[in-house]
């Protein structure tokens, strides 16, 4: 077993419509606003940016992310990762009843020197750290989609999310 390789899969059930969830997820530069563990996202161009993450452990991971797939019709977002983590991550958004199923998949190899040195003894802690990060993301995304819904104009009622027209 390569102790520096990880495969993650998270499934989030959200009460928002799939297109609303996709719209929030495709704006990676806004993640720090609603996902506490995403500390910074800096766009470099139309398809590439850097991101800094920190969950419970007192250690930042910095990655360069490059868009590999952005498909609004299929509601799939996929990125390639380099830097402290090397690999890929993908969101797949589908309808689930009146809400959404957001599936996050990630396959990475840890490249950060300290984390590689601690790979064997730290693995359970690193996995728990990732779980906590994803929990924070799910809560933040649910809150962000509710807030976006409140900001959206209400059709046919003469009101907007900001008040009377």
Q: Where are the alpha helices (DSSP H) in the chain?
A: 18-25, 31-34, 113-117, 119-151
User: Residues 62-101: pLDDT tens digits?
Assistant: 999 999 999 999 999 999 999 999 999 999 999 999 999 9
- pTM value is 0.88
Name which of 27, 92, 83, 10 is nearest 50 in CA terms: 83
Reported confidence tier of residue 147, pLDDT bands at 50, 70, 90: confident
Q: 36 CB contacts (<8 Å, ≥6 apart)?
A: 136, 140
User: Residues 11-34: pLDDT tens digits?
Assistant: 999 999 999 999 999 999 999 999
pLDDT given for residue 115 in this prediction: 95
Q: How many residues does the chain have?
A: 165
Q: Where are the domains of the chain?
A: 5-150
Name which of 135, 120, 124, 106 is nearest 36 in CA terms: 135
Instruction: Reply yes or no on domain 5-150 having CATH 3.30.530.20.
Output: yes
């Amino acid at each position: 077993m390569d102790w520096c390789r990880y495969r993650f899969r998270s499934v989030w059930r959200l009460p928002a419509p799939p297109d609303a969830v996709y719209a929030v997820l495709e704006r990676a530069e806004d993640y720090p606003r609603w996902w506490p563990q995403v500390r910074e996202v800096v766009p470099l161009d139309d398809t590439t940016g850097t991101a800094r993450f920190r969950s419970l452990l007192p250690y930042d991971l910095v990655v360069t992310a490059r868009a590999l797939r952005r498909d609004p019709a299929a509601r799939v977002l996929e990125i390639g990762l380099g830097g402290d983590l090397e690999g890929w991550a993908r969101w797949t958004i589908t309808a689930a009843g009146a809400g959404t199923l957001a599936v996050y998949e990630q396959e990475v190899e840890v490249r950060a020197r300290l984390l590689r040195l601690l790979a064997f003894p730290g693995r359970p802690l690193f996995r728990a750290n990732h779980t906590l990060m994803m929990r924070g993301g799910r809560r933040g995304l649910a809150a962000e989609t509710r807030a976006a819904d409140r900001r959206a104009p209400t059709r046919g009622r003469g009101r907007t999310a900001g008040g009377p027209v």
